[in-house]
Structures are given as C-alpha cells and as structure tokens.
C-alpha cells in the first residue's frame, strides 16, 4: 500500500479507504467526494543535478 497526500492506494493504483474513514464520512456522497479528491495524477519523480530555483523548487509544488 502506498500513501500520498493522505490517500492510500494498492499496487494497481486503486484508492483504498479504511473502514474507519468510511464511518467518519458517514454518507455515500461523502465517500464519492473522497474518491474524487484522491483522483489526481502524481507528477513524475525527477532527479537532477541542477540547483533549486524558483521554477523547479519542490517547495513551490501545489
């Protein structure tokens, strides 16, 4: 299981929602909204020897 931005997913990139989270969300609509928020493309991980700048500094990532 991989966790990124608070969302867990399995090896096939399926979002995994723990029972406790579903109970806290308390409605089908809230669970669907959770899946919608988790549905984003993770940007590629890039290693470079360039020094950080305002345009490539990881701290500026959304």
Whether residue 36 lies inside any domain: the answer is yes
Judge whether 20 lies within some domain. yes
* pLDDT attached to residue 3: 53
Total domains in the chain come to 1
Per the domain annotation, does 55 fall within a domain? Answer: no
Domain encompassing residue 10 = 2-50
pLDDT in tens, 2-61: 454 678 888 887 888 889 989 999 999 999 998 888 887 777 888 888 887 766 555 544
DSSP-assigned letters across all residues of 12-60: T--EE--HHHHHHH-SHHHHHHHHHHH--PPPPP----SPP-TTT-GGG
Q: Kind of pairing, strands 2-4 and 15-16? A: unpaired
62 located within any domain: no
- Would you say residue 32 lies in a domain? yes
On whether residue 56 sits in a domain, the answer given is no
Answer whether residue 21 is part of any domain: yes
């Amino acid at each position: 299981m991989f966790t990124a931005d608070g969302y867990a997913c399995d090896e096939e990139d399926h979002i995994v929602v723990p029972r406790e989270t579903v109970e806290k969300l308390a409605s089908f609509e809230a669970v669907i909204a959770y899946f919608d928020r988790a549905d984003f493309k993770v940007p590629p991980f890039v290693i470079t020897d360039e020094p950080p700048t305002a345009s490539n500094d990881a701290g500026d990532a959304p």
